[in-house]
């Protein structure tokens, strides 16, 4: 019998609708991750981490932080399973293997939002709690997982949109560089942005995926600039890498980023803050990847039978000037 089954019937926890206790009030237990046992090998908490894998600076920082935080405590054995080429099937296969193995907890960062119902139901039947990291699922059935830990994509994107509306009170043409189709993050960031710019004088020229990539961000921006006679005043890139690619395209078109074309991004990686400090980006909103400690607290709380909020918000901040970026750079860890 797995450790999680010895501690509680997780299915009962998942079915609870009174999620009234945030992680700030959760029991942290002892150094062995569950507050039970004397620290022997039989008390080690086995965690399956169904991860996204290589996808840019933000993802690297996030998954490294998760792994390092759990490895710092001898009570945890984290098994890292990154997706193969961002393929959802490889994630589902890894998830299934973890259920069959009988791990105590599964951490899931989904490459795609949909298609997880069957896997989550299998974990529930096996009494294995599932904690979502970063990305949500659709439909969002909170009975099938314990909690989601992430910044709020919609709120972050709405803040970017609010900034854009203030920058262009008399209107302007803009394009959106999106992440891959079908990813919940993309849908959430679109929703937040659209809410902010609705009713403004801003005009959307195009929205096109650039797959989180600097190279594709550059090539897509090049195409959009040419097809619009360089008559674009604003670019909203849903991540830093695409925005940095847009900077290159704008410069090669003979335009000045920050003056002729303002570029706003989300994530807050060090290269983006350096570009903001240099005046090449105009606005960067952090999407804080460093929530390993919150993940540990969620695992402890779940295994100790504590109730957990269905969404654990990770605070993130906005950078709206070169001075703000310069002040943050010395302590930037990613």
Q: Which domains are delineated in the chain?
A: 3-150+289-312 (3.40.50.2300), 153-287 (3.40.50.2300)
The answer to whether 83 and 108 have CB atoms below 8 angstroms apart is no
What's the rounded Cα separation, in Å, for the pair 315 and 332? 15
* Percent residues over pLDDT 70 in the chain: 87
* Average pLDDT value over all residues in the chain: 89
The pLDDT tens digits for 51-87 are: 999 888 899 999 999 999 999 988 999 999 999 999 9
Q: How confident is the model at residue 42 (pLDDT cuts 50, 70, 90)?
A: low
What's the rounded Cα separation, in Å, for the pair 285 and 161? 11
How many angstroms from the chain centroid is the CA of residue 50?
A: 14
Element (H, E) at 313: strand 311-313
Residue 207 has pLDDT above 80, yes or no: yes
Give pTM, 2 decimals: 0.83
Closest CA to 103 of 129, 83, 67, 82: 129
Q: How far apart are the first and last CA of the chain?
A: 40
What's the rounded Cα separation, in Å, for the pair 215 and 213? 5
Q: How confident is the model at residue 41 (pLDDT cuts 50, 70, 90)?
A: low
The pLDDT tens digits for 221-259 are: 999 999 999 999 999 999 999 999 999 999 999 999 999
Q: How confident is the model at residue 156 (pLDDT cuts 50, 70, 90)?
A: very high
Residue 146 has pLDDT above 70, yes or no: yes
The pLDDT tens digits for 257-310 are: 999 999 999 999 999 999 999 999 999 999 999 999 999 999 999 999 998 999
What's the rounded Cα separation, in Å, for the pair 267 and 257? 19
* Percent residues over pLDDT 90 in the chain: 82
Q: How many CB atoms lie within 10 A of CB 2?
A: 17
Residue 168: HSE in the Cβ half-sphere, 13 Å Cα cutoff: 27
Q: What local confidence, expressed as pLDDT, does residue 261 receive?
A: 98
Residue 9 has pLDDT above 80, yes or no: no
């Amino acid at each position: 019998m797995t450790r999680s089954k010895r501690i509680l019937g997780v299915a009962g926890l998942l079915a609870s609708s009174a999620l009234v206790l945030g992680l700030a009030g959760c029991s942290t237990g002892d150094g062995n991750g569950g507050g039970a046992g004397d620290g022997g090998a039989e008390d080690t908490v086995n965690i399956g981490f169904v991860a996204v894998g290589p996808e840019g600076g933000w993802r690297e920082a996030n998954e490294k932080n998760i792994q390092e935080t759990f490895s710092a405590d001898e009570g945890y054995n984290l098994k890292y399973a990154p997706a193969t080429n961002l393929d959802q099937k490889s994630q589902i296969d890894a998830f299934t293997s973890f259920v069959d193995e009988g791990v105590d907890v599964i951490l899931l960062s989904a490459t795609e939002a949909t298609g997880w119902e069957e896997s989550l139901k299998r974990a529930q039947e096996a009494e294995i709690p599932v904690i979502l990291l970063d990305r949500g699922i659709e439909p969002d059935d909170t009975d099938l997982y314990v909690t989601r830990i992430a910044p709020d994509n919609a709120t972050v994107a709405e803040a970017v949109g609010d900034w854009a509306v203030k920058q262009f009170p008399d209107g302007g043409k803009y394009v959106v560089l999106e992440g891959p189709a079908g990813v919940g993050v993309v849908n959430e960031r679109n929703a937040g942005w659209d809410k902010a710019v609705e009713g403004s004088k801003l005009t959307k020229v195009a929205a096109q995926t650039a797959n989180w990539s600097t190279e594709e961000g550059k090539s897509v921006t090049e195409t959009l600039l040419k097809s619009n006679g360089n008559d674009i005043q604003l670019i909203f890139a849903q991540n830093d890498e695409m925005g940095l690619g847009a900077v290159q395209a704008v410069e090669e078109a003979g335009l000045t980023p920050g003056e002729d074309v303002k570029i706003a991004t989300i994530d807050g990686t060090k290269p983006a803050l350096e570009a903001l400090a240099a005046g090449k980006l105009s606005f960067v909103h952090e999407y804080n990847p460093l929530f390993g400690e919150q993940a540990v607290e969620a695992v402890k709380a779940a295994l100790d039978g504590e109730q957990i909020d269905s969404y654990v918000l990770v605070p993130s901040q906005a950078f709206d000037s070169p001075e703000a970026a310069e002040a943050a750079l010395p302590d930037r860890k990613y």
